[in-house]
Amino acid sequence: MTESETGRVVEFAIGGMTCAACSARLEKVLNRQAGMQANVNLAAERARVRLSAAADEAAVVAAVAKAGFTAAVVDAQTREREKAAKLLLYRSEIRRFWISVALTLPLVGQMFFMFGEHGHMNELPRWFQLALATPVQFWIGWRFYDGGFKSLRGGGANMDVLVALGTSMAWGFSTVVTLFGLDQHVYFEGGAAVITLVLLGKLLEARAKARTSEAIESLIRLQPKTARVERDGQWIDMPVEALMPGDVFLVRPGESVPVDGELIDGESSVNEAMLTGESMPVGKRAGDKVFAATANGQGAMRCRATGVGEHTLLAGIIRMVGEAQGSKAPVQRLADRISAIFVPTVCVIALATFVGWWWYAGDFAEALVNAVAVLVIACPCALGLATPTAIMVGTGQGARAGILVKNAEALERAEKITVLALDKTGTLTCGTPQVTDVVTYGLSREEALGLAAALEENSEHPLARAIVAAAGIPTVNRKKAANFKSLPGQGVDGEVDGRVLRLGSPTWLGMADDPAVTGLQQAGKTVVVLVEGETRRALFAIADALRPTSRAAVERLRERGIRVVMLTGDNAATAAAIAAEAGIAEFRAGILPGDKAAAINELKSGGALVAMVGDGINDAPALAAADVSFAIGAGSDAAVEAADLTLIRSDLMGVVDAIALSAATLGKIRQNLFFAFIYNVAGIPLAALGWLNPVVAGAAMAMSSVSVVSNSLLLKRWRPGS
């Protein structure tokens, strides 16, 4: 359950939907209720309902029940209950299917012995055929009658109506012929075979649909069940649910981190592949963040909990993936509109087929068979599964690669981006100053960095931190500075091993006009000078360095025909240097935070579909203004909240991967819709013309749903970088 500006959004597990007509009708019913705005997903069997003050959860459950379905509010235990219930139902359906096969095989098998001059002599006794077909029709096939009745009672018609109507016509005609001894062919095998094949299709579809939600299932399985927590100086094992923010917990080598936290003591490397998709472990030391379900490497870590329960990054990922899988892409609107009128239209076509053939051929039996074939081939299941199954698999694959999609609409639009606006700091660059160049005079590089680090050891200035980090010397091994003095805005001085040193700005040290200094400054870098006495010893150039993958990412974006524009508040010289290094031809410098949204709107004014990538609070307005927005995961909560897609890995290549994922997912959706439409567009006329036997129609209808879901599952082959 989430909060929004216009009301609460509550997720419900829906039971009893069998096809696209079901989900379309239920969505229509809920949206007619006061205070409800619903989105129903057939593949996920979920309804997300925005409730105003005029409605509550009980009203939703009542409205769903009146429409012929069941509803239950989704909570932490819902998924486990559903899995258990679906497993029992699946096993029951498997048993019923094999019973149906055993009863149907003799009916279908006799057809192979009925060809030839005396074929009718090999026909099973009709009373025996009636005895075999009746339990298939009314016991095995009861689900179609029950589903059809509920659908009609709710004011609509679904696939169950088609199957029940078609097979009942075949069974009823054959029963009359049998009971009255009429000289007509019977079609017991047709109705029984259709029910058996449809049941087989449903089983295969259920199995395939279960695989579409594997991404969420695998994420949930990653959550540790217990944590080793410090209580009164003792370490005790506790359920993860019992942890509170501020609790201190221990993660031993090889264990998973139980909740989000901050490292207090210890050093280790942590495998964060389940969050970022990156296989290389990340080094952790005091002050670094750790995340739930990531795997600790070789060192023990003592951490303080900062996010527990629903407030961990993993829980947020699971929630966001679930919301994206339950949302609808605009491309699905066509399928929804067709599904709403599909079943009544098919019934009219079947009636016209029956009347037309009876009038044309004068054969009641032939007219009936052709009408039954029309009803059976026209199942709209594939149409309803075409989009949501692809969205479910695509968003799941994205989550595994560190790409979180907020909604399906954003995933669809990402493929169509024509302009991509980039923030510089933290997006193109690493976001923290780093030493990029060391120029020495009479010292080795290591010696110069060691002396500078000794002077800067106790400073919190970002430039000082960059020098200390570049030196890479453990705290215990660093030289100590004596007679240390800091001059704000200028630099520091002191003695290291008896050497009198000063470290600071070129202006303070009289080197503002030095060619080496000005050359580095023209490249957009900040220069710090190390002087011993009156002799210069080293120049340190410090800059917010370009991320290693940024240039390659920009190149791949340009290969896709996307115009890349950098937006930054930095001066023109620094912006030009970074843009050139990244391979970006167009940039806008000196843009104030409040003006970034205006820049986005200006880029959109030409009709372009504009995307924005950012990481800071100041990027949130621009992210909201863009047609598609990407937030770097290491950025601020405001940026992540405003964005359509979140890249957990702080890497611009994630944008390229997200666009590629969008293209792959939309490609599957288009293929699925083609499969769904082609089955019906080609199948219904063939059946109406008498060229399609009901048994063949039943097999084709079953395979249409299976082919659509199986095609969506091919998205599991997608990998970042593809």
Encode pLDDT of 675-718 as tens digits: 877 877 788 898 899 887 776 766 676 677 778 878 988 998 99
Scan for tokens 């200035």, then name that residue: 461
Q: How far is Cα 661 from Cα 721, in angstroms, rounded to an integer?
A: 10
Q: Which of 29-43, 78-92, 431-445 has the lowest mean pLDDT?
A: 78-92
Task: List the structure tokens of 49.
Answer: 């309902």
Backbone angles phi, psi at 236, to 5 degrees: -130, 150
Instruction: Examine the pLDDT at 83 and tell me if it is beyond 80.
Output: no
Distance in angstroms (rounded) separating the CA atoms of residues 506 and 666: 56
Closest CA to 79 of 393, 241, 318: 318
At 115 the pLDDT is 43
- Poorest-pLDDT segment among 247-251, 623-627, 666-670: 623-627
Percent of the chain exceeding pLDDT 90 equals 20
Among 375-379, 410-414, 495-499, which stretch is predicted with the lowest mean pLDDT? Answer: 375-379
Q: How many CA atoms lie within 13 A of 706 on its CB side?
A: 15
Q: Taking 50 as the threshold, does the pLDDT of residue 199 lie above it?
A: yes
- What DSSP state is assigned to residue 256? B
pLDDT at 336: 63
CA-based nearest residue to 622, from 592, 663, 586, 654: 592
- pLDDT tens digits for 105-137? 888 777 655 444 444 555 788 899 999 999 999
Classified as helix, coil or strand, 614 is: strand
Q: Which range is least confidently modeled, 111-120, 418-427, 646-655? A: 111-120
Mean pLDDT, residues 327-336: 64
Any idea what the Cα angle at residue 383 is, between residues 356 and 679, rounded to 5°? 50
Which positions are catalytic? 423
Rounded to whole angstroms, the Cα distance separating 380 from 266 reads 59
What confidence score (pLDDT) does residue 423 get? 82
**C-alpha pair distances (Å), 179 with each of 132, 141, 719:** 15, 22, 62
Please tell me the distance from the alpha carbon of residue 590 to that of residue 239, in angstroms, as a whole number.
51
Residue 482 pLDDT level (bands cut at 50, 70, 90): confident
Report CA-CA distances (Å) from 537 to 163, 438, 444, 453, 691: 88, 11, 10, 14, 92
Report the range of poorest mean pLDDT among 72-86, 229-243, 482-496. Answer: 72-86
Residue 634 pLDDT greater than 70, yes or no: no
Contact 450, 473 (CB under 8 A): yes
Give the per-residue pLDDT at 200: 78
**Residue 617: pLDDT over 70:** no
What kind and span of H or E run contains 647? strand 645-647
- Is 708:386 a contact under the CB 8 Å cutoff? yes
Region 652-666: mean pLDDT is: 92
